Amino acid sequence: MTKKSEVVNMTLYKTESTEEVKVTPEELEKVHQQVFAFRQKILSQARRPYQNPNPKIVIVYCMMFYGERVAQVKKCVKRVAPYVQRCVLVHDGTVEASDIEELYQLSQKKAEFVYRKWEDHFSKHRNAYLEHVNEGEWVLVSDPDELFSRLLLKDIRAILTDAEKQGINILAINSRDITTELDGTVTKTVSQWYKQLLFKMEEGVRYVNKIHETLLPGLRGWRIENLNPQYYYYVHLKDMLEVKERGARNVFIGGGGLCVLDKNPMYQEWHAWTTLHLAELGNVADWNHMRAYIRKGNIHPDLKQIFINHRNDNGWDYENESRDPFIWYKALFSDEIKEWESTPGPPSKGSPPEVMTYVEEQYLKILGRPADIMGKEHYTGAIISGILEREKLPEVLMASDEYREKKRE
């Protein structure tokens, strides 16, 4: 059931052959490419003929946001409102009353506003809106910089009707990125990224992790389908200055990456510095205050040095994000650190890009050819997961039929 702790005006809440056929890696790669090309051709022809939408399906649009992003929120709510029954908007109290009123009107008076104090924990905020969704209802979520295509919204009820018939309970949506670089140039790309933004609320569904939060399934588990990217997508409006700021935020709150915390040396250094200077600088122990302090410029030399020391980190996701505080600060106050640049070196040993490079090198050295996509991904994943010791990869490749044929030549 829906949990409502306190209701005020505008629904405000608180709280067939047996013959063996051998296929060479080259042939396999060619087939893989042909399948991919065929798939893309099919996708480009026509969208799936969804029919007879179920009018009883309930769709709830959910979002968490803060005051600085309210202009983006208004665009999202205005576009989505005609196609959903309710909107649940979680905010941190930094939103003006006039903006709350405007959002309420833009939502066609469907908005329910949930206040939750920000605690440097994204999952807590997202779970706050899930608390206001009933089991069996469908949840459509987005961040303020994610705008759904009109055709997706027009077909959404028919899409969900079809999904329920097939027992699908989560749908992934493709991203089309519009990126504003730090130098002001704008690029448009169709990414390979699908984000799980449409799912059915079931017992046990919840978000976990402080940053880069993960949506966990309920008792039934997830049965997922990717929607046709030709027609059903969202536009991701990426401002790289904001992206770098958020990277800094992720490192500060959770060490970046998959919330690695103390595994990231920068996280340790940053928080040790914060503890040491609390009395001098006041409350900079949470992100909102730390962000405000950094945005003023002329930050403490020791903190600035931490940013400089990690400007070239490279490899794991958390290491890549550790460059962001420097890049962000330099974009804001270039004169303060003009003699420094972020020029990442080789990725750290054991990180995904380093392991993939190692796999490619072994293919060239032993098999005398570039690694095929499937082989590269397979062995990279096996090494990173610990299933295969990297020192054993040459032996594995030399035990292959391809290598033995090569030696006979």
Q: What is the dihedral of CA 63, 147, 316, 307, to 10 degrees?
A: -80
Average pLDDT, the chain: 89
Place of tokens 């899409």: 159
Q: Identify whether residues 212 and 131 lie together within a single domain.
A: yes
How does strand 224-226 pair with strand 170-180? parallel
Q: Is the pLDDT of residue 93 over 50?
A: yes
CA distance linking residue 324 with residue 313, whole number of Å: 10
Residue pair 99/113 in contact by the 8 Å Cβ criterion: no
Instruction: Identify which of 109, 83, 110 has the alpha carbon closest to the alpha carbon of residue 198.
Output: 83
Closest CA to 27 of 402, 404, 407, 405: 402
Share of the chain above pLDDT 70, in %: 87
Inter-residue contact 268 to 262 (CB < 8 Å): yes
Q: Read off the pLDDT of each residue in 98-125 and give the average, rounded to a whole number.
A: 97
Q: What is the pLDDT of residue 29?
A: 64
Q: Which pLDDT does position 30 carry in this prediction?
A: 66
Residue whose C-alpha is closest to residue 47's, from 231, 235, 233 = 231
3-class state of residue 18 by DSSP: coil
pLDDT at 44 over 70: no
Q: Once rounded to an integer, what is the mean pLDDT over residues 35-42?
A: 56
314-344 core/surface letters (b: 16 or more CB in 10 A; e: else)? bbbbbbbbbbbbbbbbbeebeeebeeeebee
Could you list the beta-strand ranges (E) of 75-169: 86-91, 111-115, 138-141, 146-148
Greatest alpha-carbon pair distance for the chain in Å reads 82
Identify the pLDDT of residue 5: 33
Whether 9 is in a domain gets the answer no
Would residue 132 count as lying in a domain? yes
Q: What pLDDT is stored for residue 32 in this prediction?
A: 62
The secondary structure of 177-222 as a DSSP string is EEEE-TTS-EEEEEEEEEEEEEEE--TT-EEESSSS-EEE--TT--
Please indicate whether residue 200 or residue 52 has the higher confidence score (pLDDT): 200
pLDDT at 31: 62
> What pLDDT digit, counting tens, does each position of 61-72 carry?
999 999 999 999
Whether residue 110 is predicted with pLDDT greater than 90 in this model: the reply is: yes
Residue 33 placed within a domain: no
Name the pTM for this structure: 0.80
Q: What is the mean pLDDT of residues 138-166?
A: 97
* CA-based end-to-end distance of the chain: 71
The verdict on residue 244 lying in a domain is: no
293 and 393 assigned to the same domain: no
Task: Report the pLDDT averaged over residues 384-398.
Answer: 94
Please report the pLDDT score of residue 280 as a whole number. 82
Task: Mark whether 159 and 270 lie in a shared domain.
Answer: no
Is 298 inside a domain boundary?
yes
Q: Is 349 helix (H, G, I), strand (E, B) or coil?
A: coil
Residue 17 has pLDDT above 50, yes or no: no
Average pLDDT of the segment spanning 149-158? 96
Using the 3D structure, point to which of 208, 239, 270 is the last residue of a domain.
Answer: 239
Residues 188 and 313 in one domain: no
- The residue with greater pLDDT, 89 or 9, is 89
CB of 228 within 8 A of CB of 48?
yes
CA dihedral 142, 144, 145, 146 (to 10 degrees): 20
For residue 41, pLDDT beyond 70 = no
Q: Can you tell me the mean pLDDT for 178-192?
A: 95
Residues 319 and 313: beta-carbon distance below 8 Å: yes
Please report whether residue 122 resides in a domain: yes
| Domain termination residue (choose one: 239, 273, 292) | 239
Do 314 and 276 belong together in one domain?
A: yes
Say how many domains are in the chain: 3
213-239 pLDDT per residue, tens = 999 999 999 999 999 999 999 999 999
**Domain around 302:** 255-337
360 shares a domain with 327: no
Highest mean pLDDT of the ranges 1-15, 40-54, 120-134: 120-134
Q: Is the pLDDT of residue 15 over 90?
A: no
Residue 107 vs residue 349, higher pLDDT: 107
